[in-house]
Amino acid sequence: MRKITLLTAAVLITACLWSSFTDGSRQRRYGFMNPSAPTLIGLLLTLPISLAVPSITQKFGRSLSLQELIDEDGEIAEALYWDPAYEMPLQKLAVYFAHLELFSMGCQERLICELAAEPETFSPIAEIFLKELRPLHGPVTRSPDSLMWRYMVAMREGFTAPIEACGRSYPKCPLPAKKILNMPVLKVWQFLASKFNVRLV
């Protein structure tokens, strides 16, 4: 008897709900928008990273040529050990550094250090580089011969020390980030990001 009562109640509730949507007037409920209330419309602007990084490359004003930097440093990133688990992030970083024409290991480390020290100053480029250095794929080989470990040490140095310490930690590179990057163009990117919801992918 109780099962029949519950079944009857369920049928009646379903019938009432159905009739409210399928009666002769076919009335349905719709969302209501108040025309006098303020409305915020957001625009998400998605731009490729391949557009942002080359645009902030500093083409002029470097005190040393690229070959002089490599000869003075004596070390390039490609010669170090690449952790297989971090091959994809390292490939992305290699492309970014190639756009910046920055192949000296010392200058790459100094740049990462300074980006980590003042990410707001170098936004959005700092986010582009630093997001590739998150240890998301397991442990990293802790060795001076490991490229990922060297980058992570440089990032940690920037997080824990003022930006001036990066030049002392990597004295083989004479170029600070503000000479490697085209700061006026970077300011344009920051202005766009402040006015629009810009996301680099």
pLDDT at 36 (0 to 100) = 64
Spatial contact of 187 and 162, defined as CB atoms under 8 Å apart: no
User: What's the rounded Cα separation, in Å, for the pair 43 and 198?
Assistant: 9
Whole-model pTM: value is: 0.67
Measure the CA angle with vertex 116, ends 111 and 117; round to 5°: 95
- Greatest pairwise CA separation for the chain in angstroms: 94
C-alpha closest to that of 49 among 130, 152, 124: 124
Spatial contact of 133 and 144, defined as CB atoms under 8 Å apart: no
pLDDT at 14 (0 to 100) = 44
Q: Domain map of the chain by residue range? A: 45-200
The angle, 0 to 180 degrees and rounded to 10, between the axes of the packed helices 147-160 and 105-117 is: 40
Q: List, for residues 90-147, the tens digit of each pLDDT value.
A: 999 999 998 888 888 999 999 999 999 999 999 889 999 999 999 888 899 999 999 9
Question: How long, in residues, is the chain?
Answer: 201
